[in-house]
């Protein structure tokens, strides 16, 4: 497993415009550290089984979609970690937790890419449940990482949208208010 | 102390409530709202009853009515005058809220200590560890 705390600071400073794995790792590590109180480690395995997936679109000069997915069985543990207490959470609460996780990771990526995300608006999280074997989101280009969260895995994909897929939605929340 | 928490995420509302209760603020009464419109209704209702809020924590990015819109509408109606506000967001937001000593900001993700420090500086009370 690779320790994503070895973020390449020089990479971030020398090329602040284009999104990179380092930006995604840094945003995820921040959430793991502050909210999940967990070490952030990258793993090679993919998610298995049914999964809960949240996605947020970013639109502006560039367009991208950030997807965060966890195995359905990990939902309780993720929600436990975020709330600092153990309980049998219902599906709505778990979906909320995954959506909020996606929101924080997307925000962290956006904060680290101020130039690339200039004039960028983002959507509210869309949370879906996918059965085992359902195709993962696919993009022409993407950054995809899977992180170890205890015995569970959290998959994060930052997909870059083609010009034809970009949109301008007045309902998106702007970054300047 | 009567506090309004406005956030469309029930998980985040619970996290914020936990942070408030751990902060040592006295006689806490916490009211939840899931969007800016509900928050506005809560402020209006409580002030009409003479029991206005002492602190407002509001997410910036919410459906129906977002945080800044809620605050602007409240101000337009003469509500929540002088009430300290914490704007909460996962992004960097150049808010339209005037930079005053009564508006704080909290960036997600945050630790309990960061939340308490934000409240302490806004309310001028000691942060509880």
Helices (H), chain B: 10-22, 36-48, 67-76, 112-123
Q: Show which residues on chain B lie within 8 Å of chain A, measured between beta carbons.
A: 8-12, 14-15, 18, 60-61, 63, 66, 68, 89-96, 107-111, 114
Q: What integer pLDDT is reported at residue A90 of this predicted model?
A: 95
Mean of the per-residue pLDDT values for chain A? 84
Tell me which H or E stretch contains B67.
Answer: helix B67-76
pLDDT of A13 over the 70 cut: no
In angstroms, the separation between the Cα of residue A46 and the nearest Cα of chain B is 25
Residues 24-63 of A with CB under 8 A from B: 30-31, 33-35
pLDDT of A12 over the 70 cut: no
CB within 8 A of B63, min separation 6: which ones? A124, B8, B35
Token pair listed for B68: 């800044």
pLDDT digits (tens, 9 = 90+) for A29-64: 999 999 999 999 999 999 989 999 999 999 887 889
In angstroms, the separation between the Cα of residue A154 and the nearest Cα of chain B is 17
How confident is residue A155, by pLDDT bands cut at 50, 70 and 90? very high
Inter-chain CB proximity B109 and A34 less than 8 Å: yes
pLDDT of A1 over the 70 cut: no
DSSP letter, residue B35: S
pTM given for the model? 0.87
Backbone CA torsion sign across A149, A77, A129, B61: negative
Token pair listed for A36: 């999940």
ipTM of the predicted assembly exceeds 0.90? no
pLDDT of A11 over the 50 cut: no
Residues 136-165 of A with CB under 8 A from B: none
Residue A96 sits at the chain B interface (C-beta within 8 Å): yes
Token pair listed for B42: 């809560």
Query: Residue A84: its chain B contacts at CB < 8 A?
Result: 15, 18
Query: Residue B111: its chain A contacts at CB < 8 A?
Result: 34
Mean pLDDT confidence for A18-37: 94
Inter-chain CB proximity B89 and A107 less than 8 Å: yes
Tell me which H or E stretch contains A64.
Answer: strand A64-71
Q: What is the pLDDT along chain B (129 residues), one digit of tens a residue?
A: 999 999 999 999 999 999 999 998 889 999 999 999 999 999 999 999 999 999 999 999 999 999 999 999 999 999 999 999 999 999 876 555 555 568 998 999 999 999 999 998 888 755 554
What is the DSSP pairing of strand B55-59 with strand B2-6?
parallel
How confident is residue A165, by pLDDT bands cut at 50, 70 and 90? low
Nearest Cα neighbor of A38 from A153, A125, A143, A138 is: A153
Q: What integer pLDDT is reported at residue A2 of this predicted model?
A: 46
CA dihedral B92, A34, A64, A121 (to 10 degrees): -30
How confident is residue A172, by pLDDT bands cut at 50, 70 and 90? very low
């Amino acid at each position: 497993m690779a320790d994503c705390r070895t973020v390449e600071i020089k990479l971030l400073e020398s090329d602040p415009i284009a999104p990179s794995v380092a930006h995604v790792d840094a945003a995820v590590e921040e959430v793991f550290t502050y909210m999940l109180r967990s070490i952030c480690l990258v793993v090679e395995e993919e998610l298995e089984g049914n999964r809960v997936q949240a996605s947020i679109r970013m639109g502006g000069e560039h367009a991208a979609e950030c997807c965060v997915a966890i195995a359905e069985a990990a939902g309780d543990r993720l929600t436990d970690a975020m709330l600092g207490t153990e309980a049998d959470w219902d599906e709505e609460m778990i979906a909320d937790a995954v959506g909020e996780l996606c929101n924080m990771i997307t925000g962290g990526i956006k904060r680290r890419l101020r130039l690339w995300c200039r004039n960028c608006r983002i959507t509210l999280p869309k949370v879906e449940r996918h059965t085992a074997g359902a195709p993962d989101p696919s993009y022409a280009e993407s950054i995809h990482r899977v992180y170890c969260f205890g015995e569970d895995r959290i998959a994060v994909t930052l997909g870059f949208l083609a010009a034809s897929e970009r949109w301008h939605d007045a309902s998106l929340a702007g970054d300047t208010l | 102390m009567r506090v309004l928490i406005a956030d469309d995420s029930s998980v985040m509302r619970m996290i914020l409530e936990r942070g408030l209760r751990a902060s040592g603020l006295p006689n806490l009464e916490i009211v939840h709202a899931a969007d800016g419109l509900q928050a506005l209704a809560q402020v209006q209702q409580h002030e009409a009853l003479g029991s206005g809020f002492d602190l407002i924590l509001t997410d910036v990015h919410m459906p129906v009515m977002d945080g800044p819109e809620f605050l602007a509408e409240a101000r337009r109606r003469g509500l929540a005058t002088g009430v300290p506000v914490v704007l909460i967001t996962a992004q960097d937001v150049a808010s339209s809220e005037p930079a005053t000593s009564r508006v704080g900001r909290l960036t997600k993700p945050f630790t309990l200590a960061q939340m308490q420090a934000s409240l302490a500086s806004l309310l001028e009370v000691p942060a509880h560890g």
